Protein backbone atom coordinates (compact mmCIF):
# COMPACT_ATOMS: atom_id res chain seq x y z
CA UNK A 1 0.00 0.00 0.00
CA UNK A 2 2.88 2.35 0.73
CA UNK A 3 4.36 1.65 -2.71
CA UNK A 4 1.01 2.44 -4.32
CA UNK A 5 0.81 5.71 -2.41
CA UNK A 6 4.32 6.71 -3.49
CA UNK A 7 3.61 5.78 -7.11
CA UNK A 8 0.50 7.98 -7.17
CA UNK A 9 2.45 10.91 -5.70
CA UNK A 10 5.31 10.44 -8.16
CA UNK A 11 2.95 10.17 -11.14
CA UNK A 12 1.04 13.35 -10.25
CA UNK A 13 4.25 15.27 -9.65
CA UNK A 14 5.62 14.24 -13.04
CA UNK A 15 2.40 15.27 -14.76
CA UNK A 16 2.45 18.62 -12.95
CA UNK A 17 6.02 19.33 -14.06
CA UNK A 18 4.87 18.79 -17.65
CA UNK A 19 2.16 21.41 -17.15
CA UNK A 20 4.20 24.10 -15.46
CA UNK A 21 1.93 26.93 -16.60
CA UNK A 22 -0.95 25.59 -14.50
CA UNK A 23 1.29 25.39 -11.44
CA UNK A 24 2.73 28.86 -12.00
CA UNK A 25 -0.76 30.31 -12.34
CA UNK A 26 -1.53 29.52 -8.70
CA UNK A 27 1.74 31.03 -7.48
CA UNK A 28 1.34 34.16 -9.61
CA UNK A 29 -2.22 34.63 -8.32
CA UNK A 30 -1.01 34.37 -4.71
CA UNK A 31 1.81 36.84 -5.33
CA UNK A 32 -0.44 39.34 -7.12
CA UNK A 33 -3.09 39.31 -4.39
CA UNK A 34 -0.45 39.62 -1.68
CA UNK A 35 1.32 42.44 -3.53
CA UNK A 36 -1.79 44.44 -4.42
CA UNK A 37 -3.31 44.38 -0.95
CA UNK A 38 -0.89 46.94 0.57
CA UNK A 39 -1.51 49.23 -2.40
CA UNK A 40 -5.23 49.20 -1.70
CA UNK A 41 -4.99 49.59 2.07
CA UNK A 42 -2.33 52.27 2.19
CA UNK A 43 1.24 52.67 3.40
CA UNK A 44 0.56 52.97 7.14
CA UNK A 45 2.92 50.41 8.75
CA UNK A 46 0.84 49.62 11.83
CA UNK A 47 -2.29 48.97 9.79
CA UNK A 48 -0.40 46.73 7.36
CA UNK A 49 1.09 44.67 10.19
CA UNK A 50 -2.37 44.21 11.69
CA UNK A 51 -4.01 43.13 8.43
CA UNK A 52 -1.13 41.06 7.04
CA UNK A 53 -2.01 37.62 8.53
CA UNK A 54 -5.61 37.76 7.37
CA UNK A 55 -4.72 39.14 3.94
CA UNK A 56 -2.08 36.50 3.22
CA UNK A 57 -4.25 33.70 4.54
CA UNK A 58 -7.17 34.77 2.33
CA UNK A 59 -4.80 34.94 -0.65
CA UNK A 60 -3.55 31.42 0.12
CA UNK A 61 -7.10 30.12 0.51
CA UNK A 62 -8.21 31.56 -2.82
CA UNK A 63 -5.07 30.33 -4.57
CA UNK A 64 -5.53 26.79 -3.25
CA UNK A 65 -9.19 26.85 -4.31
CA UNK A 66 -8.13 27.97 -7.78
CA UNK A 67 -5.95 24.85 -8.09
CA UNK A 68 -8.62 22.34 -7.07
CA UNK A 69 -9.96 21.83 -10.59
CA UNK A 70 -6.69 20.13 -11.55
CA UNK A 71 -6.94 17.55 -8.77
CA UNK A 72 -9.18 15.09 -10.64
CA UNK A 73 -10.08 16.93 -13.84
CA UNK A 74 -7.26 15.72 -16.08
CA UNK A 75 -7.58 12.09 -14.93
CA UNK A 76 -11.31 12.20 -15.54
CA UNK A 77 -10.86 13.66 -19.01
CA UNK A 78 -8.50 10.92 -20.24
CA UNK A 79 -10.23 8.01 -18.50
CA UNK A 80 -7.51 7.39 -15.92
CA UNK A 81 -9.86 8.04 -13.03
CA UNK A 82 -12.15 5.17 -14.01
CA UNK A 83 -9.13 2.85 -14.09
CA UNK A 84 -8.08 4.02 -10.64
CA UNK A 85 -11.50 3.09 -9.31
CA UNK A 86 -10.91 -0.45 -10.58
CA UNK A 87 -7.55 -0.69 -8.83
CA UNK A 88 -7.18 -3.37 -6.10
CA UNK A 89 -5.78 -0.70 -3.80
CA UNK A 90 -8.26 1.26 -1.63
CA UNK A 91 -9.54 4.32 -3.43
CA UNK A 92 -9.03 6.39 -0.27
CA UNK A 93 -5.31 5.57 -0.44
CA UNK A 94 -5.12 6.74 -4.05
CA UNK A 95 -6.99 9.92 -3.13
CA UNK A 96 -4.55 10.54 -0.28
CA UNK A 97 -1.64 10.24 -2.70
CA UNK A 98 -3.22 12.69 -5.12
CA UNK A 99 -3.91 15.17 -2.31
CA UNK A 100 -0.31 14.95 -1.08
CA UNK A 101 0.96 15.61 -4.61
CA UNK A 102 -1.50 18.48 -5.00
CA UNK A 103 -0.25 20.06 -1.78
CA UNK A 104 3.40 19.66 -2.80
CA UNK A 105 2.62 21.43 -6.07
CA UNK A 106 0.26 24.19 -4.96
CA UNK A 107 0.45 24.43 -1.16
CA UNK A 108 4.10 24.12 -0.23
CA UNK A 109 5.25 26.82 -2.71
CA UNK A 110 2.80 29.25 -1.08
CA UNK A 111 4.39 28.57 2.30
CA UNK A 112 7.85 29.18 0.87
CA UNK A 113 6.77 32.47 -0.72
CA UNK A 114 5.08 33.77 2.43
CA UNK A 115 8.23 35.26 4.08
CA UNK A 116 8.91 37.31 0.95
CA UNK A 117 5.39 38.72 0.84
CA UNK A 118 5.48 39.35 4.59
CA UNK A 119 8.33 41.81 4.09
CA UNK A 120 6.13 44.36 2.34
CA UNK A 121 3.67 44.22 5.25
CA UNK A 122 6.43 45.00 7.73
CA UNK A 123 5.99 41.84 9.79
CA UNK A 124 8.77 41.05 12.24
CA UNK A 125 10.57 37.71 12.34
CA UNK A 126 8.34 36.18 15.03
CA UNK A 127 5.09 37.01 13.24
CA UNK A 128 6.51 35.84 9.89
CA UNK A 129 7.56 32.49 11.37
CA UNK A 130 4.15 32.04 13.02
CA UNK A 131 2.39 32.88 9.75
CA UNK A 132 4.54 30.49 7.72
CA UNK A 133 4.08 27.74 10.32
CA UNK A 134 0.32 28.21 10.34
CA UNK A 135 0.26 27.96 6.54
CA UNK A 136 2.48 24.88 6.68
CA UNK A 137 -0.09 23.19 8.94
CA UNK A 138 -3.21 24.71 7.42
CA UNK A 139 -2.68 24.36 3.68
CA UNK A 140 -2.71 20.51 3.78
CA UNK A 141 -6.07 20.74 5.53
CA UNK A 142 -7.29 23.06 2.76
CA UNK A 143 -6.21 20.52 0.14
CA UNK A 144 -7.96 17.68 1.98
CA UNK A 145 -11.21 19.59 2.36
CA UNK A 146 -10.97 20.91 -1.18
CA UNK A 147 -10.63 17.38 -2.55
CA UNK A 148 -14.15 16.61 -1.34
CA UNK A 149 -15.54 19.60 -3.22
CA UNK A 150 -13.52 18.77 -6.33
CA UNK A 151 -14.87 15.22 -6.31
CA UNK A 152 -18.48 16.30 -5.82
CA UNK A 153 -18.34 18.79 -8.71
CA UNK A 154 -16.48 16.51 -11.10
CA UNK A 155 -17.70 16.92 -14.69
CA UNK A 156 -20.31 19.47 -13.63
CA UNK A 157 -20.87 22.58 -15.70
CA UNK A 158 -19.55 25.58 -13.80
CA UNK A 159 -17.67 23.28 -11.48
CA UNK A 160 -15.13 25.94 -10.52
CA UNK A 161 -17.81 28.17 -9.02
CA UNK A 162 -19.46 25.24 -7.26
CA UNK A 163 -16.13 24.14 -5.77
CA UNK A 164 -15.66 27.60 -4.30
CA UNK A 165 -19.18 27.63 -2.89
CA UNK A 166 -18.65 24.24 -1.25
CA UNK A 167 -15.08 24.60 -0.06
CA UNK A 168 -14.83 28.18 1.18
CA UNK A 169 -17.40 27.83 4.02
CA UNK A 170 -15.82 24.54 5.14
CA UNK A 171 -12.38 26.17 5.12
CA UNK A 172 -13.44 29.01 7.42
CA UNK A 173 -12.19 27.34 10.65
CA UNK A 174 -8.76 26.75 9.09
CA UNK A 175 -8.66 30.39 7.98
CA UNK A 176 -9.68 31.67 11.42
CA UNK A 177 -7.17 29.65 13.42
CA UNK A 178 -4.39 30.08 10.84
CA UNK A 179 -4.64 33.85 10.72
CA UNK A 180 -5.22 33.91 14.48
CA UNK A 181 -1.87 32.24 15.12
CA UNK A 182 0.03 35.02 13.35
CA UNK A 183 -2.18 37.74 14.87
CA UNK A 184 -1.53 36.36 18.35
CA UNK A 185 2.21 36.38 17.70
CA UNK A 186 2.01 39.94 16.38
CA UNK A 187 0.26 41.01 19.57
CA UNK A 188 3.06 39.48 21.66
CA UNK A 189 0.86 36.66 22.98
CA UNK A 190 1.36 32.95 22.50
CA UNK A 191 0.07 31.45 19.26
CA UNK A 192 0.34 27.87 20.53
CA UNK A 193 -3.41 27.45 21.05
CA UNK A 194 -4.27 28.38 17.48
CA UNK A 195 -1.51 26.17 16.10
CA UNK A 196 -2.70 23.22 18.18
CA UNK A 197 -6.25 23.75 16.94
CA UNK A 198 -4.90 23.80 13.39
CA UNK A 199 -3.11 20.50 14.05
CA UNK A 200 -6.39 19.04 15.32
CA UNK A 201 -8.23 20.17 12.18
CA UNK A 202 -5.48 18.70 10.01
CA UNK A 203 -5.64 15.37 11.87
CA UNK A 204 -9.42 15.22 11.49
CA UNK A 205 -9.24 16.10 7.80
CA UNK A 206 -6.50 13.53 7.16
CA UNK A 207 -8.57 10.81 8.84
CA UNK A 208 -11.92 11.59 7.23
CA UNK A 209 -11.42 13.50 3.97
CA UNK A 210 -9.86 10.70 1.84
CA UNK A 211 -12.79 8.37 2.59
CA UNK A 212 -15.35 11.12 1.94
CA UNK A 213 -13.59 12.05 -1.31
CA UNK A 214 -13.52 8.41 -2.43
CA UNK A 215 -17.27 8.14 -1.85
CA UNK A 216 -17.85 11.41 -3.70
CA UNK A 217 -15.83 10.16 -6.68
CA UNK A 218 -17.89 6.97 -6.90
CA UNK A 219 -21.09 9.00 -6.80
CA UNK A 220 -19.86 11.43 -9.46
CA UNK A 221 -18.79 8.65 -11.82
CA UNK A 222 -21.99 6.60 -11.57
Q: What is the DSSP string of 117-167?
A: HHHHTT--HHHHHHHHHHHHHHHHHHHHHHHHHHHHTTT-TTHHHHHHHHH
Instruction: For Cα atoms 41, 44, 50, give the angle at the middle one, nearest 5 degrees.
Output: 75
Q: What is the pLDDT of residue 190?
A: 64
Q: What is the pLDDT of residue 54?
A: 87
Stretches in the chain below the pLDDT threshold 50: none
What is the model's pTM? 0.87
d(CA 176, CA 58): 10
Q: What is the pLDDT of residue 158?
A: 60
Q: What is the pLDDT of residue 200?
A: 92
CB-CB contact of 122 with 49 (8 Å): yes
CB-CB contact of 146 with 164 (8 Å): no
Amino acid sequence: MLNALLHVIRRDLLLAFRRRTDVMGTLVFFCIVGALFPLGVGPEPELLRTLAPGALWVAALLASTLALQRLFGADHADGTLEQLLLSPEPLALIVAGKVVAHWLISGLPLVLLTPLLALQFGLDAGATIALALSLLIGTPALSLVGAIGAALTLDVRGGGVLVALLVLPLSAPVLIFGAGAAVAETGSTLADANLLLLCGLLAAAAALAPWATASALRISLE
